[in-house]
Amino acid sequence: MKPGLDAILFDPPGPVPFERAWRWQRTLQQRLLADPRGPETLLILEHPGCYTLGRGASLDHLGFDPAAPPAPLFRIDRGGEVTHHLPGQLVAYPVLNLQRHGADLHLYLRQLEGVVLDVLGQLGLAGQRLEGLTGVWLEGRKLAAIGVGARRWISQHGLALNVNCDLDGFAAIVPCGLADHGVGRLCDWLPGLRPDQVQPLLRDAIAERFGLTLRPPKDSERLRG
């Protein structure tokens, strides 16, 4: 067993406003750009209700006026169409130097799907990839959305896995621009399942797949703001 790559885990309790978590990711990305040999990072958290659009996303998939959204709306530096975040959904944002992980963005997307499939497997569920689409489905319903951005192969953004969140907010959008695919959540298959039970599975699946040895941040590595 080879020693894993040094990686910092940030798993703040309670929902973190999207803009804050985004600022953290950019800080971490900057650190890794400045020192590409430095530690990688994994953020696992939940967001208060919000919507995000990929940089090239179409506004046609919004069921509301972008000037007056039902929850904060952000256009962010990732690929993909609109998605929705809210409590009860775990998001994982690996800030990795992808040069250490194959330097291949499609491969990275497939690895993130693999992470979700691993978590589902741990829970006794057989998730699916759909050919030509990015994400993870279970019985035709999309459980996990994936979108990433990178600069000089340093990643940000990542995946969102619906655990026991309210699905109503998804009705206001066409998630990921896919009209024919419903959205699902894990608690529909495993009643009573909570994010705090899934979090360790997600954390370990990511560590395993990317060969990371996770540790808490040192004082000098803490995120402010």
Partner 1 sequence: MRALAAPGNKILATHDIFMPALSSTMTEGKIVEWLKKPGDPVARGESVLVVESDKADMDVEAFQEGFLAAVLMPAGETAPVGETIGLIVETEAEIAAAQASAPSAPVAAAAAPAIVSSPVPAAAPPAPAAAAAPAPQPVAVAPPAPPANGRLVATPRARKLAKQLGVALETLRGTGPHGRIQAEDVELASGQPVSVPRVAEGSAAYAPAAAGSAAGAPGGGNGASPAPSAAMGQAFGRPGDTVAFNTLQQAVNRNMLASLTVPCFHVGYTITTDRLDAFYKQVKGKGVTMTALLAKAVGVVLARHPQVNGAYTDAGMAYPATVNVAVAVAMDDGGLLTPVLKDANTIDLYSLSRTWADLVARSRTKQLKPDEYSTGTFTLSNLGMFGVDRFDAILPPGTGAILAVAASRPTVMAGNDGSIAVKRQMQVNLTADHRVIYGAHGAAFLKDLANLIETNPESLAL
Interacting residue ranges for partner 1, rule: CB under 8 A: 2, 5, 37, 54-56, 77-80, 97-100, 102-109, 134, 146-153, 176
Residue (196 or 208) nearer to partner 1, CB = 208
Catalytic residues: 176
Q: Shortest approach of partner 1 to residue 115 CB, angstroms?
A: 14
Q: Shortest approach of partner 1 to residue 81 CB, angstroms?
A: 9
Residue (160 or 163) nearer to partner 1, CB = 160
3-class SS letters over the chain: CCCCEEEEEECCCCCCCHHHHHHHHHHHHHHHHHCCCCCEEEEEECCCCEEEECCCCCHHHECCCCCCCCCCEEECCCCCCCEEECCCEEEEEEECEHHHHCCCHHHHHHHHHHHHHHHHHHCCCCCECCCCCCCEEECCEEEEEEEEEEECCEEEEEEEEECCCCCHHHHHECHHHCCCCEECCHHHCCCCCCHHHHHHHHHHHHHHHHCEEEECCCHHHCCCC
Q: Shortest approach of partner 1 to residue 125 CB, angstroms?
A: 22
Q: Shortest approach of partner 1 to residue 192 CB, angstroms?
A: 31
Residue (2 or 218) nearer to partner 1, CB = 2
